[in-house]
Amino acid sequence: MPITPTYPGVYIEEIPSGVRTITGVATSITAFIGRAQRGLTNEPITINSYGDFERIFGGLWIGSTLGYAVRDFFLNGGAQAIIVRLHRKDGDKSDTATLNAKGLELTAASPGSWGNYLRARVDHDVPDDADAQQLLGVDKADLFNLTVRDMKTGVTEIFRNLTVKESARRVDKVLANESQFVRTGEPTSTTVPEKHNNPAAGKTIWEDDNASSGVTDVGDKDGLPLSKDDFTPQNGKNDKKGLYALQKTDLFNLLCIPPHRHGGDIEPELVAEAVTLCEKHRAFLIVDSPSSWKTKDNAKSGIANIGASSNYAAVFFPRIMQPNPLRNNQMEEFVPCGAIAGIFSRTDAQRGVWKAPAGLDATLVGVPKLSISLNDAENGELNPLGINCLRTFPAAGRVVWGSRTLQGNDRLASEWKYIPIRRLALYIEESLYRGTQWVVFEPNDEPLWAQIRLNIGAFMQNLFRQGAFQGKTPQEAYFVKCDKETTTQNDINLGIVNIVVGFAPLKPAEFVIIKLQQMAGQIAV
């Protein structure tokens, strides 16, 4: 508000500058969806290391390819991942462990045989603090403590001052919000669970059945291998289950769906669904070559049946060979999607999203061998079809040697032929989408348009200085247009402001041609 002078003197008034900094979003948060030994199902969980994956989801498992892909992601430079665990129940069999802790019925927080290792202990060692009891609205006799331990990992959870009565510490509410191991239903009785006895001499509380309670329903609860229906369940979009659980997360940039079983594939229909999701969320899908691609001729004939032809996805061929630590380190074939996503992340951090994640620097860490060895001639047949090859070169080792989207076929003449151009556009789109939310409901006239040009122009100028665009000057590299030409009076009447942003992308030097010529001897005149 302008200052109204009331007395002779000097008045200070701060004037808003109109500067609103647009911050670039992350570019390589990678989502993985598949089967795991443990962890919540249909919930996107963010992890920052492979250690997090081992702790939350159980690590490598012979029954799933997910753990191997996540391991390769972090091994090759990945920084942050989002894991969605799916579980397919085996018919009518129980898939969740249960245990009775002195009358308190507990169930494992998620399905899987991991729950067989749970033990629980109840004690009545509660405080005599009358003020605390009054605050909770219960008596001392209504309180108890619960300790839950995962005997396989050694992790223990302790919950103090619980009650079965209506209170801020009602046991079902506390466990639902704080426990990673167990859940219980709404109490149907106000009887406090009995306490466990002290352990016998020479035993710990977890070794004595009188001092703690083990699982009562023991069995194999790891379920069956997944299928397409588990990723795209009926009404899955509305319930946010399966593939659509990613709708619960704020941002992901890359998507990997490892095969349902070792040596298997994901269905072309699932690839199509995943591409549609990526297009909606401005993300990029990394597609593994099918297991039937044993030669370059298989790849040439099979690319048409991959499941999608989109510039939001790319396929990589062949698969990789790695030692399997769960099978005495024998060499086995694995999909490369996790390692490729890690290289994407590493390249983004070192060079920028506009740099093609390929070349001699794009080495596959932890990959001693490829399932198929390709030569230059075979690579030359596959590259024009939009198939990105993994190659072995002397000194460099195994590297990514292609950077085309699924619209990278030369015959399509797509403007989104290259992966770095597509991903740079997605980065700009997402950053501007989030950075211009303040524009909504602002007065739609020249002062607003000037602010928009200033703020978006500053963001684009920063990218230009980092080398993201072609051109020697900003005028050659990008433009931001928002004025009465882009936004007519009719647009203003409809509440619309139109912003046009253009950029000149850097295209990778895919073919390097060196010309040599002999110099003719100079004839003296």
Last residue of a domain, one of 421, 437, 469: 421
What percentage of the chain's residues is helix, strand, coil (to nearest 5)? 30, 20, 50
In a domain, 475, yes or no: no
Average pLDDT of the chain to the nearest whole number: 92
Pairing of strands 44-47, 213-214: unpaired
Q: Measured between alpha carbons, how far is 494 from 86 in angstroms, rounded to an integer?
A: 45
* pLDDT score, position 138: 82
Can you give the three-state secondary structure of 198-224, one letter per residue? CCCCCCCCCCCCCCCEEECCCCCCCCC
- C-alpha closest to that of 176 among 192, 197, 162, 190: 162
Q: What DSSP letter does each residue of 153-166 carry, written as one string?
A: T--EEEEEEEBSSS
Q: Measured between alpha carbons, how far is 429 from 101 in angstroms, rounded to an integer?
A: 53
Tokens at 498, concatenated: 């139109």
In terms of domains, do 170 and 268 share one? Answer: no
- The pTM is what? 0.92
Q: Measured between alpha carbons, how far is 340 from 323 in angstroms, rounded to an integer?
A: 18
Element (H, E) at 418: none
In a domain, 523, yes or no: no
Distance of CA 266 to the CA centre of its chain: 18
Mark 352-361 as b/e (b = at least 16 C-beta within 10 Å): bbbbbbbbee
How do residues 32-77 score in pLDDT, each as one tens digit?
999 999 999 999 999 999 999 999 999 999 999 999 999 999 999 9
Q: Measured between alpha carbons, how far is 306 from 271 in angstroms, rounded to an integer?
A: 8
How would you class 343 by CB atoms within 10 Å of its CB: exposed for 0-12, middle for 13-18, buried for 19 or more?
buried
Contacts of 298 (CB under 8 A, 6+ apart): 292
pLDDT of 218 above 70: no
End-to-end CA, the chain? 85
How do residues 285-301 score in pLDDT, each as one tens digit?
999 999 999 999 999 99
In terms of domains, do 246 and 368 share one? Answer: yes
* pLDDT score, position 236: 86
Q: Residue 189 maps to which CATH number?
A: 2.60.40.4290
How do residues 383-410 score in pLDDT, each as one tens digit?
999 999 999 999 899 999 999 999 999 9
* pLDDT score, position 524: 63
Query: Which pLDDT band, with edges at 50, 70 and 90, does 22 fall under?
Result: very high
In terms of domains, do 169 and 243 share one? Answer: no
Pairing of strands 254-256, 30-35: parallel
Name the residue range of residue 172's domain: 98-214
3-state secondary structure of 404: strand
Q: Measured between alpha carbons, how far is 117 from 130 in angstroms, rounded to an integer?
A: 37
Lowest mean pLDDT among 262-266, 283-287, 457-461, 511-515: 511-515
How do residues 121-140 score in pLDDT, each as one tens digit?
999 988 877 666 677 778 88
* Residue 367 Cα distances to 75, 187, 198, 375, angstroms: 10, 53, 52, 18
In terms of domains, do 81 and 122 share one? Answer: no
In a domain, 194, yes or no: yes
Cite the DSSP H helix spans in 402-473: 419-435, 446-465
In terms of domains, do 304 and 401 share one? Answer: yes
How do residues 65-119 score in pLDDT, each as one tens digit?
999 999 999 999 999 999 999 999 887 777 888 999 998 999 999 998 899 999 9
In a domain, 504, yes or no: no
In terms of domains, do 296 and 395 share one? Answer: yes
Q: Crossing angle, helix 337-350 and helix 66-75, to 10 degrees? A: 20
Last residue of a domain, one of 393, 421, 449: 421
Query: Of all residues in the chain, what percent carry a pLDDT higher than 90?
Result: 76
Query: Which pLDDT band, with edges at 50, 70 and 90, does 516 fall under?
Result: confident
pLDDT of 261 above 80: yes
In a domain, 448, yes or no: no
* pLDDT score, position 1: 61
Please count the structural domains in the chain.
Answer: 2
Q: Measured between alpha carbons, how far is 388 from 303 in angstroms, rounded to an integer?
A: 11
Last residue of a domain, one of 193, 214, 235: 214
Can you give the three-state secondary structure of 363-390, one letter per residue? ECCCCCEECCCCCHHHHHHHHHHCEEEE
331 vs 520: which has the higher pLDDT: 331
Tokens at 243, concatenated: 């593939």
In terms of domains, do 247 and 383 share one? Answer: yes
In terms of domains, do 236 and 203 share one? Answer: no
Element (H, E) at 524: none
In terms of domains, do 240 and 348 share one? Answer: yes
Tokens at 469, concatenated: 């665009």
In terms of domains, do 370 and 240 share one? Answer: yes
- C-alpha closest to that of 43 among 256, 240, 338: 240
Q: Measured between alpha carbons, how far is 270 from 257 in angstroms, rounded to an integer?
A: 9
Please write down the long-range contacts of 287-290, taking CB distance under 8 Å and 24 or more positions apart. 287/313, 287/314, 287/315, 287/316, 287/337, 287/406, 288/258, 288/259, 288/315, 288/316, 288/319, 288/335, 288/336, 288/337, 289/315, 289/316, 289/317, 289/318, 289/319, 289/387, 290/265
Contacts of 2 (CB under 8 A, 6+ apart): 13
pLDDT of 381 above 90: yes
Q: Residue 382 maps to which CATH number?
A: 3.40.50.11780
* pLDDT score, position 132: 66
Q: Measured between alpha carbons, how far is 38 from 112 in angstroms, rounded to an integer?
A: 6
Q: Measured between alpha carbons, how far is 37 from 261 in angstroms, rounded to an integer?
A: 14
In terms of domains, do 367 and 412 share one? Answer: yes
How do residues 299-353 score in pLDDT, each as one tens digit?
999 999 998 899 999 999 999 999 999 999 999 999 999 999 999 999 999 999 9
Query: Which pLDDT band, with edges at 50, 70 and 90, does 228 fall under?
Result: very high
In terms of domains, do 83 and 177 share one? Answer: no
Strand order in the sheet with 98-101: 98-101, 104-108, 182-183
How do residues 455-479 score in pLDDT, each as one tens digit?
999 999 999 999 999 999 999 999 9
Answer yes or no: are the C-beta atoms of 502 and 479 closer than 8 Å. Answer: yes
Tokens at 328, concatenated: 């005495």
How do residues 156-211 score in pLDDT, each as one tens digit?
999 998 998 888 889 999 999 999 999 999 888 888 899 999 988 888 999 998 99
In a domain, 441, yes or no: no
